[in-house]
Amino acid sequence: MNFLGKRPPAAATPGAAKKATTRDRGNAAEDQALAHLQAAGLQLAVRNYRTPGRGGGEIDLVMRDRDGTLVFVEVRSRTHGGFGGAGASISATKQQRIIFAARHYLMRLPSPPPCRFDVVLVEEGVQWIKAAFDAH
């Protein structure tokens, strides 16, 4: 305890382990998903693609499949299966933001290739759902 009667932050306590943040867990899930997809033959094009400005979207992984298809991947992770698990957290609004970001990404290309939207769920293992949703 310090002179104000408060405990020092965990990082300041000798020998204390740093607690993983939500961002740390998200990055670890993306790492797992990326390794899984690369083992299946996909190649990374971009990680964490974001549209400029507020209210845009983000794509966790943009991959290229063996047949040339551009794959926009949403990675979701949950520490427990409550509230429907990781898959249930991909709402219609989230899908629209991913689609918006994908369209923005495709505008940079001279000729858009075939595309699809996949989801990788990282819970007790890794589950890859190809063509999980379509652009409307």
Structural domains of the chain, with CATH: 21-133 (3.40.1350.10)
Sheet of 126-133: strand order equals 43-50, 58-64, 70-77, 115-122, 126-133
- The tens digit of pLDDT for each residue in 80-107 reads 555 445 555 678 988 999 999 999 999 9
Q: What distance in Å separates the CA atoms of residue 38 and residue 20, rounded to the nearest whole number? A: 25
Task: Record the tokens describing residue 23, joined without a space.
Answer: 């961002």
What residues contact residue 1 under an 8 Å CB cut-off, 6+ apart? 7
Can you tell me the distance from the alpha carbon of 10 to that of 13, in angstroms, rounded to the nearest whole number? 5
Q: How far is CA 85 from CA 38, 79, 81, in A?
A: 24, 9, 4
Over residues 24-78, the pLDDT tens digits come to 888 899 999 999 999 999 999 999 999 987 777 899 999 999 999 999 999 998 6
pLDDT reported for residue 88: 56
